[in-house]
Amino acid sequence: MTSPRPDLAELELQELEAALDARGVERFHARQLYRWIYRRGVTDFDRMTDLSRDLRARLQTEFDVSTPRIVSDERSIDGTRKFVLELSDARRIESVFIPDTPSMTFCISTQVGCAMACGFCLTGKMGLVRNLTAGEIAGQVRVLASATGLLDFPFNIVLMGMGEPLHNYDPTMKALRMLHSEYGLAMSPRRITLSTVGIVPGLERLAREPLMPNLAVSLHATTDEQRTALVPPNRKYPLADILEACRRFPLKKRSRITFEYVMLDEVNDTPEDARRLVRLLSGIKAKVNLIPLNPAPGIPYGRPSDARVDRFAQILADRYITVSVRKSRGQDIRAACGQLIVEGGTKKSAAQQMALLLR
Ligand code: SF4
């Protein structure tokens, strides 16, 4: 059952100051609390030793600090770690730590499941179970930074785990503000990348945000027909609208929009696709990240050969588009892009889960 006590994990610094103020507690304690929770990974009030004993006792009775609980931590031979985290209502999500990319990177979820139903993605097969709260989104970062010993070191965040961040807009942006707080992890927006399938009203709101993460758009196809089959939201937000929103998107000097392109064997990986992609991106400060599919049971597509991937990449490079091919990480623990799914996370039986995957 949800506790009626305010949850400090859900509060931005100013909200925390106001909550303390309302209880007659000095506002400056909010900064101390933020430092303990975000910078030191401590959520037990008893261990917050720069607060008086009386204050700690009051906080204990008046507030909660919910934190996702690690239920499994699988390590790949390449150093990638896939964490299954349990939330306060026992729902589960997955978050991934990818070392040396070249920085340390956490791939974070924004929803339990996802409503976007992309045809090559296991999370999409789950459907949307629920949105994550801001505290749950930021909480993943606290938990992973603690578990990997990176609380005092720089790292990147990519919002590319389970869910579509712009489909859970307000909690996602609130979580980014919490992570950005100078009394917390002080994360620079340059170290945060938000990845979207292109929810156009969300892109337009994002363009007006004071705290602007890097933008990655999951394109995956070069015609509306092909894209609607792979990324169903394309029916509502077709390629021309998404690319127009990208053209208008305010970019900082030297920044570019990353276009992600999952390569599916003999589906979207032909030289014609590559040439169409070049034309679509004309006038946009773009770079392209090619992601050869990680095949998985229940996903009806294959991985193209290296030769097909190279040919596609070469056509983009010849037209002066910066292109990279994503090395697959954590394949042995199914931590790669599009493979995040929590068994039992939707409270379905194993047989129902399998039926969903095979649908
Ligand atoms: S690829 Fe991303 S947006 Fe598409 S279904 Fe999977 S999690 Fe959702």
Whether 338 lines ligand 1, by a CB cut-off of 6 Å, is yes
Instruction: Please tell me the distance between residue 298's alpha carbon and the centre of ligand 1 in angstroms.
Output: 15
The mean per-residue pLDDT over the stretch 165-194 comes to: 97
Categorize the per-residue pLDDT at 347 as very low, low, confident or very high, splitting at 50, 70 and 90.
very low
Look at residue 358 and tell me whether its pLDDT is greater than 60: no
* Position in ligand 1 atom list of the atom nearest CA 120: 1
* Position in ligand 1 atom list of the atom nearest CA 122: 6
Look at residue 214 and tell me whether its pLDDT is greater than 70: yes
Whether 124 lines ligand 1, by a CB cut-off of 6 Å, is yes
pLDDT, residue 339, reads 63
CA nearest neighbour of 246 among 193, 279, 196, 284 = 284
Q: Tens of pLDDT along 123-163?
A: 999 999 999 999 999 999 999 999 999 999 999 999 999 99
Q: Tens of pLDDT along 74-93?
A: 999 989 999 999 999 999 99
Catalytic residue among 114, 118, 121, 337: 337
The phi and psi torsions of 292 (rounded to 5 degrees) equal -60, 130
| Contact criterion met (CB below 8 Å) for 348 and 129 | no
Whether 197 lines ligand 1, by a CB cut-off of 6 Å, is yes
Look at residue 353 and tell me whether its pLDDT is greater than 50: no
Count of residues for the chain?
359
Is 94 an active-site residue?
yes
Q: What is d(CA 197, CA 242) in angstroms, rounded to the nearest whole number?
A: 9
Instruction: Please tell me the distance between residue 164's alpha carbon and the centre of ligand 1 in angstroms.
Output: 6
The phi and psi torsions of 187 (rounded to 5 degrees) equal -75, 130
Categorize the per-residue pLDDT at 340 as very low, low, confident or very high, splitting at 50, 70 and 90.
low
Q: How far is CA 245 from CA 58, 203, 251, 269, in A?
A: 49, 7, 12, 25
Mutate to test the pocket of ligand 1, among 107, 112, 121 (most ligand atoms within 8 A of CB): 121
pTM: 0.91
**DSSP structure string for 71-109:** EEEEE-TTS-EEEEEE-TTS-EEEEEEE--SSS-EEE--
Whether 107 lines ligand 1, by a CB cut-off of 6 Å, is no
pLDDT, residue 341, reads 63
pLDDT, residue 2, reads 52
Whether 315 lines ligand 1, by a CB cut-off of 6 Å, is no
Least confidently predicted of 121-125, 178-182, 229-233? 121-125
The mean per-residue pLDDT over the stretch 35-63 comes to: 96
Look at residue 246 and tell me whether its pLDDT is greater than 70: yes
Instruction: Please tell me the distance between residue 126's alpha carbon and the centre of ligand 1 in angstroms.
Output: 10
Q: Tens of pLDDT along 288-326?
A: 999 999 888 888 999 999 999 999 999 999 999 999 998
Strands 286-292 and 322-325: parallel
pLDDT, residue 349, reads 36
Q: How far is CA 241 from CA 107, 225, 233, 238, 336, in A?
A: 27, 15, 12, 6, 29
Q: Within a 10 A sphere around the Cβ of 272, how many other Cβ atoms?
A: 11
Q: What is d(CA 297, CA 313) in angstroms, rounded to the nearest whole number?
A: 27
pLDDT, residue 200, reads 98
Instruction: Please tell me the distance between residue 127's alpha carbon and the centre of ligand 1 in angstroms.
Output: 10
Categorize the per-residue pLDDT at 359 as very low, low, confident or very high, splitting at 50, 70 and 90.
very low
Catalytic residue among 10, 17, 94, 260: 94
Per-residue DSSP letter, 103: S
